[in-house]
Amino acid sequence: MSQLKSSFPPPSARIAVAMSGGVDSSVAAALLVDQGYQVVGVHMKLHDLPSEERRDKSCCSIDDSLDARQACARLGIPFYVLDFTERFQSSVIDYFIDGYRAGETPNPCVMCNRKVKNSVLLDRVREFGCDFLATGHYARIRHSAKGAEGDGSGNGAWELARPRDRHKDQTYFLFGTPREELPHLLFPLADLDKTQTRAVAEKRRFFTWNKPDSQEVCFVPSDYRKFLRERMEPVLPGNFVDRSGKVLGTHGGIPFYTVGQRRGLGLSAPEPLYVVALRPQSNEVVLGAEPELFSRGMRVGGANWVSRPPITAPIEAEVKIRYSHQGARARIVPEKQPGGEDTLRVEFETPVRAIAPGQAAVFYQDDVLLGGGWILPVENI
């Protein structure tokens, strides 16, 4: 087993902390201040949510900037607000809308971490003289003296790994982190559970110590269907069909359904029906019995390898197909696509339920997040 050490910057380091206004990022900043680092708090303005639509379980509600500012004031550290609304619109909100339009189930939190919170923010905080960026994610960065498999450099390698608190493990959302950024990222909460984090916040008298966890899509004020209707061209109704093409009824529009959905179909049948696939080209929603939701395989595109070089031969790994998924053992096989991007074929040991195109598939070996990609639509449904 390789020797591992956590990621610690030198004592003189100047560290920026992404301050969301929640309890986790506030405590992350406090821990770094207590260790004697020069700490700068930065809050990202991502979008404008009307005050009447504020929700306590959103990570970007209207009071979050104030909460972040108050935490920095208690810690005696500088505080800056960075306006990323245009970047967030193009990289996250537009992606969210386009995904549903294409019959996919997008994951905006993964895309936000990939396109905004790490890559762009890390570049901006360097303007403040910071070589490190810390966040309140429950994750761990460590260094393997042995080096990643397939690296061959002999100089060791940085790894993104699960935290102590498995119930709060957020590595799934970080699979898109560029590998070269790992030495510059810090996750101070890696060894804390949520109860301990709240205890630290209460002791420091942060106003956010009992603030609810973020659980919603921050830019969707209520029902995502209403949000989509207001931002799409008229969504056309179409047919519910079974796999053979038999018409079972009429649906309200492809964007309002996801694979695995049972409720809200408005149909009666001798047995429960589920959305088993979406056909955006023919505007059809495919329904079937629950056994039809299970699959032994899928294809994944847009792979990003965080803790190792890209694979050139099959590997065995645990694969999560959504954040709440417990993970399933699988064989991951690299594929060369003629005239297109390379993909991965994932072959599960046992069938997996409700694989939704557009979601992130993330690969683990033990505690290490190897990488991940985006689940591709199934051909010839």
Residue showing tokens 């056994």:
291
* 234-288 and 294-375: identical CATH topology: no
**What digits encode the pLDDT tens for the residues 341-380?**
899 999 999 999 999 999 999 999 999 999 999 999 986 5
The percent of residues in the chain predicted with pLDDT above 90, rounded, is 74
pLDDT of residue 4: 39
Residues 60, 109, 130, 218: which is the catalytic one? 218
CATH H-level, domain 4-203: superfamily:
HUPs (3.40.50.620)
Backbone φ, ψ for residue 221 (5° rounding): -70, -30
Assign 49 a pLDDT band (cuts: 50, 70, 90): low
CATH H-level, domain 234-288: superfamily:
Adenine nucleotide alpha hydrolases-like domains (2.30.30.280)
Residues 59, 109, 112, 130: which is the catalytic one? 112
Mean pLDDT, residues 306-310: 96
H-helix or E-strand spanning residue 73: helix 64-75
Q: Residue 119: which of 87, 93, 95 has the closest Cα? A: 87
CATH H-level, domain 294-375: superfamily:
Translation factors (2.40.30.10)
pLDDT at residue 149 greater than cutoff 80: no
State the burial class of residue 120 (Cβ atoms within 10 Å of its Cβ: 0-12, 13-18, 19+): middle
- Chain Cα centroid distance, residue 98: 17
Q: What is the DSSP string of 304-356?
A: EESSSPPPSS-EEEEEESSTT---EEEEEEEEPPTTS--EEEEEEEEEEE---
User: Residue 191 carries which side chain, given as an amino acid letter?
Assistant: D
Q: Return the higher-pLDDT residue of 151 and 332.
A: 332
112 assigned to active site: yes
Q: What is the DSSP string of 222-273?
A: S-HHHHHHHHSS-PPPEEEE-TT--EEEEES-GGG--TT--TT-----SS--
Mean pLDDT, residues 25-47: 95
Assign 2 a pLDDT band (cuts: 50, 70, 90): very low
pLDDT of residue 154: 44
**CA–CA separation, 57 vs 2, rounded Å?**
40
Mean pLDDT, residues 330-351: 92
**CA–CA separation, 97 vs 108, rounded Å?**
10
pLDDT at residue 247 greater than cutoff 70: yes
**What digits encode the pLDDT tens for the residues 190-202?**
999 999 999 999 9
Mean pLDDT, residues 64-84: 94
**CA–CA separation, 37 vs 33, rounded Å?**
6
Q: Where are the domains of the chain?
A: 4-203, 234-288, 294-375
**What digits encode the pLDDT tens for the residues 87-132?**
999 999 999 999 999 999 999 999 999 999 877 898 899 988 998 9
Assign 62 a pLDDT band (cuts: 50, 70, 90): low
pLDDT of residue 195: 94
109 assigned to active site: no
- The pair of three-digit structure tokens given for residue 147, joined into one six-digit string: 């080096």
Mean pLDDT, residues 8-24: 91
